[in-house]
Amino acid sequence: MPVVETVGPLDERRAAPSPAASDGAALRKFGALPVPSLEWNAEVERQTARLYERIKNVVPSVEWPFFAPYVKAINAIKKERNAVILAHNYQTPEIYNCVADFVGDSLQLAREAAKAKADVIVQCGVHFMAETANILNPEKTVLIPDLEAGCSLASAITGEDVRMLRERFPGVPVVTYVNTSAEVKAESDITCTSSNALQVVESLGSERVIFVPDQYLAKYVAAQSKVKIIAWKGSCEVHERFTGDELEMIRANDPSVQIVAHPECPPDVIAASDFTGSTAHMIDWLRKNRPKRVVLVTECSMADNVQAELPDVEFTRPCNLCPHMKRITLPKILDSLLYTKEEIVVAPAVAEKARRAVERMIHLKS
Ligand code: SF4
């Protein structure tokens, strides 16, 4: 059924709340480490050759002498720090394939963060993901290499907006996409990801559900469910730029191409696609179906990362870059480990309420 109502600010998208700067507590606790050599030489080449093998079909050999010294240094220092690196599917291939300990979509990274045993978790993703890691594992030190790595969805709604929705629709449960701040999660009944949004909405047994903040994911879920969905007018600045027309043109030129889209895309894009799913579901679908030519309608690095694993699949444009994900780089990850910055700490009262909503999702039976 279609979304029954979409609520939200009609004017310009509000500015993202500025994340608080670290107060240096992590640096005082762990201390700084000496800056390692970042020289490219035959020994570094030998020691990193195995890692370059993984990405040689997506990273030109001329770029490896810049990346390799950082890869070597990060992998050594993360052991010294007893740190674990979590990387989202939208991270660049040299991060995703060469320094990350765990990779995945938001749900997979949240699960890894919750069970991480290391002292330090470095979140190579965006700010809300680091908050989620801190919410789920508050004993650990959670770092993000760039504090400004935000998200247009997370900045589209505030905790106050959710309270307003609850007043306007009393008794209607609130399902919140994980791409939100901790304060928004704290006002919610349960969170969801693009992997499990339909399952979460239907798990509540309610005739109506408030679903925030992604209007397109809300429409995607509503189209598959009898639950009446009240949506919020937020969107992902990366996925909303695709259009059904451009995909139809690509298909007209090559009828054999397979189009795989993320559910944060507008409905005409989803209608023009052969498969729609979260980044994790897209990867599973590609592994299983091994199409010859694919348009991956999502962030560009995702195609590079899958291409590294499936060299026989050809990925064609369009794709869009996420400027927030691209703030994370190898030099910033190294700095993050050397100086234990930027630490993400969610206020305990907010974290406790947000944890209930996130854990309720994590413990849902699949
Ligand atoms: S791709 Fe979209 S939803 Fe993901 S972090 Fe970037 S802006 Fe946010």
Helix or strand or coil: residue 111? helix
Res 14: pLDDT: 55
Pocket of ligand 1 contains residue 328 by CB under 6 Å: no
Cβ–ligand 1 contact at 325 (below 6 Å): yes
Mean pLDDT of 170-189: 98
Stated pTM of the model: 0.93
Rounded distance from Cα 125 to ligand 1 centre (Å): 10
pLDDT at residue 18 in the model: 60
Residue 131 host element (H or E): helix 127-136
Q: Is 212 a domain residue?
A: yes
Q: Tell me which residue range forms the domain holding 140.
A: 25-152+326-339
The finding on whether 236 has its CB within 6 A of some atom of ligand 1 is yes
Taking only the tens place, the pLDDT of each residue in 290-300 is 999 999 999 99
**Ligand 1, atom 3: nearest CA belongs to which residue?**
236
Q: Are 175 and 186 in a shared domain? A: yes
Residue 10: the pLDDT is: 47
| Residue 107: predicted pLDDT | 85
For a pLDDT cut of 70, what percent of the chain falls above it? Answer: 96
Is 162 buried (19+), middle (13-18) or exposed (0-12) by CB count in 10 A? buried
Query: What is the per-residue DSSP string for 132-193?
Result: HHHHH-TTSEEE-S-TT---TTGGG--HHHHHHHHHHSTT--EEEESSS-HHHHHT-SEEE-
Give CA–CA dist 77/66, Å, rounded.
18
Atom of ligand 1 nearest to the CA of 236: 2
pLDDT digits over 2-49, tens only?
Answer: 888 999 874 554 555 566 666 788 888 898 999 999 999 999 999 999
Map 298-344 to HEC letters. Answer: CEHHHHHHHHHHCCCCEEECCCECCCCHHHCCHHHHHHHHHHCCCEC
3-state helix vs strand vs coil in the chain, percent to 5? 45, 15, 40
Looking at residues 72-101, what average pLDDT do you find?
Answer: 97
- 2-6, 17-21, 139-143, 331-335: segment of lowest average pLDDT: 17-21
Average pLDDT, the chain: 94
Q: Which of 126, 265, 301 to mutate to test the pocket of ligand 1 (most atoms within 8 A of CB)?
A: 126
Distance (angstroms) between ligand 1 centre and the Cα of 126 equals 8
Residue 8 confidence (pLDDT):
86
Q: What is the mean pLDDT of residues 79-93?
A: 97
CA dist 264 and 361 (Å) reads 19
* CA–CA distance, 333 with 99 (Å, rounded to integer): 9
Task: For 236-292, write each residue's pLDDT tens digit.
Answer: 999 999 999 999 999 999 999 999 999 999 999 999 999 999 999 999 999 999 999
Taking CA 112 as the corner, what is the angle to CA 107 and CA 113, rounded to the nearest 5 degrees?
Answer: 95
Q: 313 and 164 in one domain?
A: no
Q: Is residue 303 part of a domain?
A: yes
- Structure confidence at residue 348 (pLDDT): 96
Q: Are residues 46 and 67 in the same domain?
A: yes
Residue 42 lies inside a defined structural domain of this protein: yes
Q: Judge if 113 and 126 occupy the same domain.
A: yes
Judge if 143 and 40 occupy the same domain: yes
Tell me, yes or no, whether 59 and 197 share the same domain: no
Helix (H, G, I), strand (E, B) or coil at 89: coil
Task: Retrieve residue 181's tokens.
Answer: 């701040």
- Does residue 316 carry a pLDDT above 80? yes
Mutate to test the pocket of ligand 1, among 214, 232, 236 (most ligand atoms within 8 A of CB): 236
CB of 179 closer than 6 A to ligand 1? yes
**What is the 152 CA–ligand 1 centroid distance (Å)?**
6
For residues 215 and 258, state if they share a domain. Answer: no
Indicate if 354 and 206 belong to the same structural domain: yes
Residue 235, amino acid: S
Calculate what percentage of the chain has a pLDDT beyond 90.
89
In this predicted model, what pLDDT tens digit does every residue of 6-16 receive, in sequence order?
998 745 545 55
In the chain, the largest separation of any two C-alpha atoms, in whole Å, equals 66
More confident residue, 16 or 335: 335
Domain count, the chain: 3
Instruction: Please tell me which residue, 218 or 29, carries the higher pLDDT value.
Output: 218
Residue 81 covered by a domain: yes
User: Quick check: is 234 in a domain?
Assistant: yes
Alpha-carbon distances, residue 68 vs 71, 75, 93, 286 (angstroms): 5, 11, 12, 29
User: What average pLDDT does range 132-147 have in this prediction?
Assistant: 97
Calculate the alpha carbon distances from 251 to 75, 248, 295 in Å.
Answer: 43, 5, 10
Residue 40, C-beta contacts closer than 8 angstroms, at least 6 positions apart: 65, 66, 68, 69
H or E element at residue 104: strand 102-104
Pair 273, 197 in one domain = no
What distance in Å separates the CA atoms of residue 268 and residue 39, rounded to the nearest whole number? 50
| Residue 301 near ligand 1, beta carbon < 6 Å | no
Q: Is residue 18, in this structure, part of any structural domain at all?
A: no
Q: Are residues 219 and 358 part of one domain?
A: yes
CA dihedral sign, ordered 347, 132, 212, 365: negative
* CATH number, position 184: 3.40.50.10800
Residue nearest to atom 7 of ligand 1 (CA): 151
Statement to judge: residues 29 and 143 lie in one domain: yes
* Statement to judge: residues 162 and 218 lie in one domain: yes
- Report, as an integer, the average pLDDT of 341-348: 95
- How far apart CA 333 and CA 310 sit, in angstroms, is 27
Evaluate whether 278 touches 263 at the Cβ level (below 8 Å).
yes
Per-residue pLDDT band for 133 (boundaries 50, 70, 90) equals: very high
Contact, 156 vs 233, CB < 8 A? Answer: yes
The CA-based angle 146-51-318, given to 5 degrees, is 60
pLDDT (0 to 100) of residue 19: 67
d(CA 156, CA 272): 27
Q: SS3 for 154?
A: helix
- 95, HSE (Cβ side, Cα atoms, 13 Å): 28
Is residue 19 situated within a structural domain? no
So what's the pLDDT on residue 267? 97
